[in-house]
C-alpha cells in the first residue's frame, strides 16, 4: 500500500474472476436455524427500510427463541432521545451508537435471568432506501455486536452496503436477506472472515448483483488478529464490490465521503515499490492540475489507483 503523506487515499480496483458455483442455504433456513439455537439471543433495531430483517425471523417461525426485542425509531427526535443526537442518521457513527446502546441495555436487563450459555447480540441497520421522494441508489450501514462464546466481551462487525435494485420493495427484500446472512455468518463463520464475507451474498443474485459492500470493519478480541486492509481486500476477491479505498493511514474509507465535492487526481500503477520519482511526478502533476482547474490543493483528492489485474496483460492472459 502506498503510504506517501501527500496521498489522501489509495484505491484498488478489481478484475472479475470466475466464481465456483454453490447452493447457499436459503434465507428462511438460516433464520430458522438461529431461532432454534437456544444460545443466541438479542435485539434487532432497524431504521430506514422497514423491519425487514426481523420480519425474516418471524416468518421462519420460532422467533421468540432468538429475538428479545425488535424496534424501529423513524422519527429523528425519537431516535435522538434513544441513541443521542447526531449530524447524520445514515452513518457509521449512528450505527455504532445503536449497536452499543441496544447491546448494553440487553445485557443489563437479561444477563442475570438467562442461561449462562446465552450469547447475546444486538443487530442494527440505518438505511436510506429508494422511496417515492428519492429515486437514487439506496445505501446504508449494517452491523452486529455479539458474544462469540458465553460471557465474552462483545465483538463487532460493521459493513457499508449499496442496494442496487430499482424498486423500494426489492431493496427492502435484499436488506432483509443481507441482515439474516450477516447474523448467521457472524455466529457460524467468525473463525474464517473470508468465508464470512463471501456468505453475505447468499441468495442475493438474480443474474446480477443486488447489493454491493464497499467497506467492512471487524473489531473485538475474536478478530483482533486480522488486518483491516486484508479484510477489505476480501470484498474485492469475493466480488462484493468493484473498488475499495484506503486513507493514507491505511484505514478503509468510503469513496463517497472522501471525494465529496472534490476534484480527483488519479495516478495508476502497481507501486512496487513506491519511489521518490512517483512522489515527484504526483507533486508536479498536482500543481499543474490545480492551476488548470483553478482549485486549491485542499479541494483535490490525490488517489493512487492499484489494479488487481495486470496493467499490461500478456496476450495469453487477455
Same domain, 56 and 194: yes
Furthest C-alpha separation in the chain: 67
Does residue 1 form part of some domain? no
pLDDT at 214 (0 to 100): 95
Same domain, 35 and 154: yes
Distance between CA atoms of residues 37 and 40, nearest Å = 6
Structure confidence by residue, pLDDT tens digits, 153-184: 999 999 999 999 988 889 999 999 999 999 99
Model confidence band, residue 241 (pLDDT cutoffs 50, 70, 90): very high
Same domain, 102 and 182: yes
Closest CA to 27 of 232, 270, 201: 201
Rg (CA), the chain: 21
Does residue 184 form part of some domain? yes
Residue 288 CB neighbour total at 10 angstroms = 11
Does residue 42 form part of some domain? yes
Count how many domains the chain has. 2
Same domain, 214 and 298: no
Residue 71 CB neighbour total at 10 angstroms = 15
CATH code for the domain of 269: 3.30.429
Does residue 243 form part of some domain? no
Same domain, 163 and 127: yes
Model confidence band, residue 147 (pLDDT cutoffs 50, 70, 90): very high
Range of 85's domain?
27-227+234-238
Does residue 246 form part of some domain? no
Does residue 96 form part of some domain? yes
Rounded to two decimals, the pTM is 0.87
Amino acid at each position: 500500500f502506498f503510504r506517501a503523506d501527500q496521498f489522501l487515499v489509495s484505491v484498488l480496483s478489481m478484475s472479475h474472476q470466475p466464481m465456483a458455483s454453490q447452493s447457499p442455504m436459503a434465507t428462511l433456513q438460516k433464520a430458522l436455524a438461529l431461532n432454534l439455537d437456544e444460545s443466541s439471543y438479542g435485539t434487532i433495531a432497524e431504521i430506514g427500510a422497514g423491519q425487514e430483517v426481523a420480519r425474516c425471523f418471524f416468518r421462519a417461525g420460532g422467533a421468540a427463541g432468538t429475538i428479545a426485542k425488535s424496534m424501529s425509531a423513524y422519527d429523528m427526535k425519537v431516535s435522538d432521545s434513544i441513541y443521542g443526537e447526531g449530524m447524520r442518521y445514515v452513518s457509521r457513527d449512528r450505527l455504532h451508537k445503536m449497536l452499543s446502546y441496544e447491546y448494553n441495555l440487553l445485557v443489563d436487563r437479561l444477563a442475570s435471568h438467562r442461561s449462562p450459555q446465552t450469547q447475546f447480540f444486538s443487530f442494527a441497520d440505518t438505511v436510506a432506501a429508494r422511496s417515492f421522494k428519492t429515486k437514487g441508489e439506496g445505501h446504508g450501514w449494517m452491523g452486529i455486536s455479539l458474544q462469540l462464546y458465553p460471557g465474552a466481551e462483545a465483538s463487532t462487525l460493521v459493513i457499508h452496503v449499496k442496494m442496487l435494485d430499482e424498486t423500494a420493495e426489492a431493496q427492502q427484500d435484499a436488506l432483509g436477506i443481507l441482515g439474516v446472512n450477516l447474523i448467521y455468518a457472524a455466529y457460524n463463520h467468525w473463525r474464517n472472515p473470508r468465508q464470512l464475507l463471501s456468505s453475505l451474498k447468499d441468495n442475493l443474485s438474480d443474474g446480477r448483483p443486488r447489493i454491493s459492500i464497499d467497506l467492512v470493519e471487524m473489531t473485538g478480541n475474536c478478530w483482533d488478529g486480522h488486518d483491516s486492509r486484508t479484510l477489505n481486500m476480501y470484498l474485492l476477491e469475493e466480488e462484493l464490490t468493484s473498488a475499495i479505498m484506503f486513507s493514507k493511514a491505511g484505514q478503509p474509507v468510503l469513496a463517497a465521503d472522501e471525494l465529496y465535492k472534490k476534484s480527483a487526481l488519479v495516478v495508476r500503477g502497481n507501486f512496487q515499490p513506491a519511489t521518490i520519482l512517483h512522489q515527484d511526478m504526483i507533486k508536479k502533476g498536482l500543481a499543474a492540475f490545480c492551476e488548470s482547474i483553478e482549485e486549491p490543493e485542499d479541494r483535490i483528492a490525490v488517489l493512487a489507483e492499484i489494479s488487481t489485474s495486470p496493467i499490461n496483460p500478456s496476450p495469453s492472459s487477455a
